[in-house]
Amino acid sequence: MRKESIFTGAATAIVTPMNAQGIDYEAFERMLNWQVAQGIDALVICGTTGEGSTLSDEEHREVLQFAINVVDGRVPMIAGTGSNDAAYAIDLTKYACSIGYDAMLLVTPYYNKTTQRGLVAFFTAIADASTKPVILYNVPSRTGVNIEPATYAKLAGHPMIAAIKEANGNISKIVETAALVGDRLDIYSGNDDQIVPVLACGGKGVISVLSNVVPAETSLMCKKFFAGDVQGAMELQKKYLPLTNALFCEVNPIPAKAAAAAMGYGENYVRLPLVTMEETARQHLLECMREVGVNV
């Protein structure tokens, strides 16, 4: 069963500007509007990069509501509603559906983890409660659990499970998954250093941290590939690799927050257990930004 794609191209997993007093909504509004003006293809709110795991329940809902109001239908909006507690994820998913989000992003359950059979039960329970399509987010380096290709194949039959954000870094497994799920699940790269390789495996785009800094260019990388300019897409992949590496030299979203602050979008502030970048690493990040033309 072919499902409608949520988006094609680049979606920014956007940072949530904060300070010691709470959410910096003024900076957040400016960043959302800039992303749309730059031609980003979709936005992910309250994901890992948005520090969703350290937002209170009230803040999480407020940020989701604020962002959907600001963007006002200009691009597809995806809500990070995943949790390691199925009941909480279901509740948050229902809320995001009710306020107009186009899709949900559901991370694998961290710490308590579960088995492959448990993953099927977990994602099925949340998808059953959703009135909008869901994207499964596989990031084993952070959660300690990996979605196997055969598990994707089982989940692909659910009418509300529409896509994968794959950040396992294993191209061979992505090829295996693509072979098993066919056109029943769209695949998005979850790693900015593998955008073009995943597109070459049949991917529909990327859910990106890089595009917090260079949204137009990240989207262009995908557009070039889909237009048949694979070499041009790969040139952009290589051009932005040093910046990509700098954005992941410390735990995400520590560098992304530093980059956003340098661009004028709020303070360089992250919530514990995250801490701000080491200064030498931050200076290297700023230099990488300048080298690709970012004014910082």
Closest residue by Cα to residue 100 from 45, 141, 152: 45
Q: Check residue 1 and give its pLDDT.
A: 56
**DSSP string of 136-190?**
EEE-HHHHS----HHHHHHHTTSTTEEEEEE-S--HHHHHHHHHHHTTSSEEEES
Domain boundaries, the chain: 9-226
42: how many CB neighbours lie within 10 A of its CB?
24
Per-residue pLDDT band for 3 (boundaries 50, 70, 90) equals: confident
Q: Is 137 a catalytic residue?
A: yes
Q: Check residue 167 and give its pLDDT.
A: 97
Q: Check residue 283 and give its pLDDT.
A: 98
Residues 6+ apart with CB under 8 A from 26: none
- Say how far apart CA 189 and CA 208 lie, in whole Å: 8
Distance of CA 77 to the CA centre of its chain: 11
Could you say which DSSP state residue 191 is in? Answer: -
* Residue 290 contacts residue 296 (beta carbons within 8 Å): yes
SS3 102: coil
- Say how far apart CA 264 and CA 281 lie, in whole Å: 19
| Active-site option among 101, 132, 154, 165 | 165
Q: Is 224 a catalytic residue?
A: no
> Structure pTM?
0.97
Structure tokens at 193: 């250093």
Structure tokens at 41: 């293809």
Residues 24-39: what's their mean pLDDT? 98
Please give the CATH architecture assigned to the domain spanning 9-226. Alpha-Beta Barrel (3.20)
Closest residue by Cα to residue 6 from 210, 203, 196, 234: 203
Task: Write out pLDDT tens, residues 136-157.
Answer: 999 999 999 999 999 999 999 9
* Residue 259 contacts residue 285 (beta carbons within 8 Å): yes
- Say how far apart CA 8 and CA 206 lie, in whole Å: 8
| Active-site option among 101, 132, 137, 224 | 137
Task: Write out pLDDT tens, residues 75-91.
Answer: 999 999 999 999 999 99
